[in-house]
Amino acid sequence: MHVAMIGTGYVGLVSGACFADFGHTVVCVDKDERKIQALRQGIMPIYEPGLEDLVDRNVRQGRLSFSTELSPAVENADAVFIAVGTPSRRGDGHADLSYVYAATREIAAKCKGFTVVVTKSTVPVGTGDQVESISREVAPDAEISVVSNPEFLREGAAIEDFKRPDRIVIGTDDERARAVMTELYRPLFINSSPLLFTSRRTSELIKYAANAFLATKITFINELADLCERVGANVQDVSRGIGLDNRIGSKFLHAGPGYGGSCFPKDTLALTRTAQEAGAPLRIVETVVGVNDARKTAMARKVVNALGGNVKGATVALLGLTFKPNTDDMRDAPSIAIVNSLLDKGAKIRAYDPEGVHEARKVLPEEVFYAENAYDCAKDADVLVIVTEWDAFRALDFGLLKTTLKQPIVVDLRNVYRPQDMEALGFTYESVGRPN
Ligand code: UGA
């Protein structure tokens, strides 16, 4: 099959490379000339484990190419995927669909023969209907079938998630489009990933519902962590204790500094707006959004408390800045709220992140000092704070850290270490939802 992938962000680039790896011929299109030039030279615009090799292999074998020109890619395609950004619209929290509709216009004008146009970007319910009517308006005679096919991959595990998904959701009522989509995903359902066919609107909603549910699960355990701290219980044991019940499930029950990233914050907010406008408000999700925002700032208070209530003039060493490990993505990372709040309170910030410094420099205040490694970061600091659970922070040399830090105080916002071990090592140790 011939595939055109419009947009080379996380989802577009990973999906395009994976479809090529299945044996399809894929052209990834992006308006950003520098990005396309770089991709042609094998330089990835994002840090994602395994992506460079995957791209390189498929480019060399002639199945994957990159272009700034949409028309040749679309003219030859059986399926054109729209994988452009849908950021939060300033002011009202709705998803901004201007890139999706602009791509739709260009695609419709260039399609030849029967073409399936697939929305892979996360788009609110009803967007497929809009894409269809714009296509009809632009090219009344074109044979276009608009399908919703949301993506559920996680950053940092994107290739694995794409190639071994729990399910593939395809929203269409059109038999011909169904046949094309089935052919595209054949290598996956042979490996027993179920294909779920639904209506287009249902498919669009499944994507938001999945992200909102996961965000709710995280927020639930985060609030329970606060309760555990008050009543002297252990949130990790609570997670285990409830997660072993198959009806609940153990995943996404790790308490931490609040969810971040390019998806959960934006998608939960957009879903609440859709629901309000439809007259069926999702009050649970509205609460989740508010609780999670407040939590990120509350984490700074944890650091202040660990230093006896005052951080003025103190040096805080932060390990991990990205919203989670194995990515360089800083979008809505809890570290942003933590850094800003601590700077406001008069602290000095030293920070280290294995991959995220380049992105961090763009969003964090200039005063932040970036260290070379974890030990350099801890140098003369009053407290060491683990913000993101990179593997590199899972086996730190605390003997060395003790000599490097000004005071042996650790605040572990990801519960990487065990309180009893840290105390045995002579540290004052605070974590999330666990008794000391
Ligand atoms: C999320 C979803 O997991 C994907 O299924 C979805 O495709 C993607 O959004 C999207 O819509 O594109 P992602 O944002 O890459 O993926 O990251 P997650 O692994 O889901 O983590 C999101 C946030 O939740 C991170 O800040 C993470 O630290 C936090 N988290 C996650 C917790 O605090 N506790 C947990 O138990 C799990």
pLDDT tens-digit profile of 64-110? 999 999 999 999 899 999 999 988 888 787 889 999 999 999 999 99
**What ranges make up the beta strands (E) of 241-394?**
315-319, 348-352, 369-370, 383-386
Q: Is 260 in the pocket of ligand 1 (CB under 6 A)?
A: yes
Do residues 316 and 183 both lie within one domain? no
Minimum CA distance residue for ligand 1 atom 6: 152
- The whole domain housing 421 covers 295-430
Q: Mean of the pLDDT values across residues 107-134?
A: 95
Q: Which residue has the higher pLDDT, 297 or 92?
A: 297
**Nearest-angstrom CA–CA distance, 361 and 395:** 26
Do residues 20 and 160 both lie within one domain? yes
Residue 252 lies in a domain: no
* Cα maximum dimension of the chain: 75
Element (H, E) at 116: strand 115-119
Minimum CA distance residue for ligand 1 atom 30: 259
pLDDT digits (tens, 9 = 90+) for 321-336: 999 999 999 999 999 9
Do residues 166 and 304 both lie within one domain? no
**Nearest-angstrom CA–CA distance, 320 and 414:** 11
Boundary (domain end) residue, out of 161, 183, 198: 198
Ranges of H-type helices in 111-234:
127-138, 158-163, 175-190, 200-231
Q: Is 263 in the pocket of ligand 1 (CB under 6 A)?
A: yes
Q: Is 225 in the pocket of ligand 1 (CB under 6 A)?
A: no
Residue 128 lies in a domain: yes
Q: Is 264 in the pocket of ligand 1 (CB under 6 A)?
A: yes
Minimum CA distance residue for ligand 1 atom 31: 252
Residue 270 lies in a domain: no
Sign of CA dihedral 371, 374, 378, 379: negative
Q: Is 211 in the pocket of ligand 1 (CB under 6 A)?
A: yes
Residue 134 lies in a domain: yes
Ligand 1 atom showing the smallest separation from residue 155 Cα: 15
Q: Is 252 in the pocket of ligand 1 (CB under 6 A)?
A: yes
Angle (deg, nearest 10), helices 200-231 and 283-306: 40
Ligand 1 atom showing the smallest separation from residue 207 Cα: 11
**Nearest-angstrom CA–CA distance, 129 and 146:** 8
Residue 28 lies in a domain: yes
**Nearest-angstrom CA–CA distance, 137 and 2:** 25
Do residues 193 and 88 both lie within one domain? yes
**Nearest-angstrom CA–CA distance, 56 and 43:** 10
Do residues 193 and 301 both lie within one domain? no
Which domain CATH number covers 127? 3.40.50.720
Q: Is 253 in the pocket of ligand 1 (CB under 6 A)?
A: yes
Q: Please list the active-site residues.
A: 263
The total domain count for the chain is 2
Do residues 37 and 158 both lie within one domain? yes
Ranges of H-type helices in 235-282:
235-243, 264-277
Distances (CA, A) of 224 to 350, 387, 432: 30, 19, 10
Do residues 163 and 299 both lie within one domain? no
Q: Which residue has the tokens 């490379």?
A: 17
Do residues 183 and 307 both lie within one domain? no
Ligand 1 atom showing the smallest separation from residue 260 Cα: 26
Q: Which residue has the tokens 């894929």?
A: 26
Residue among 35, 175, 34 at smallest CA distance from 16? 35
Minimum CA distance residue for ligand 1 atom 37: 252
**Nearest-angstrom CA–CA distance, 259 and 60:** 38
pLDDT digits (tens, 9 = 90+) for 217-239: 999 999 999 999 999 999 999 99
Boundary (domain end) residue, out of 179, 198, 217: 198
Residue 380 lies in a domain: yes
Boundary (domain end) residue, out of 174, 198, 222: 198
pLDDT digits (tens, 9 = 90+) for 386-428: 999 999 999 999 999 999 999 999 999 999 999 999 999 999 9
Minimum CA distance residue for ligand 1 atom 9: 263
What DSSP assignment string belongs to 161-178?
A: HHHS-S-EEEE---HHHH
Q: Tell me the CA–centroid distance for residue 3 and ligand 1, in Å.
A: 28
CB 70 within 8 A of CB 106: yes
Q: How many CB atoms lie within 10 A of CB 326?
A: 19
Q: Is 350 in the pocket of ligand 1 (CB under 6 A)?
A: no
Do residues 170 and 311 both lie within one domain? no
Look up residue 388 and give its two tokens. Answer: 């993101």
CB 412 within 8 A of CB 433: no
pLDDT digits (tens, 9 = 90+) for 185-219: 999 877 788 999 999 999 999 999 999 999 999 99
Ligand 1 atom showing the smallest separation from residue 323 Cα: 26
Residue 211 lies in a domain: no
Ligand 1 atom showing the smallest separation from residue 256 Cα: 33
Q: Tell me the CA–centroid distance for residue 22 and ligand 1, in Å.
A: 26
Do residues 180 and 319 both lie within one domain? no
pTM metric for this prediction: 0.95
**Nearest-angstrom CA–CA distance, 87 and 99:** 9
Do residues 186 and 322 both lie within one domain? no
Q: Tell me the CA–centroid distance for residue 80 and ligand 1, in Å.
A: 27
- In the structure, what pLDDT confidence band is assigned to residue 53 with cuts at 50, 70 and 90? very high
Do residues 7 and 150 both lie within one domain? yes
Distances (CA, A) of 243 to 259, 382, 405: 19, 36, 37
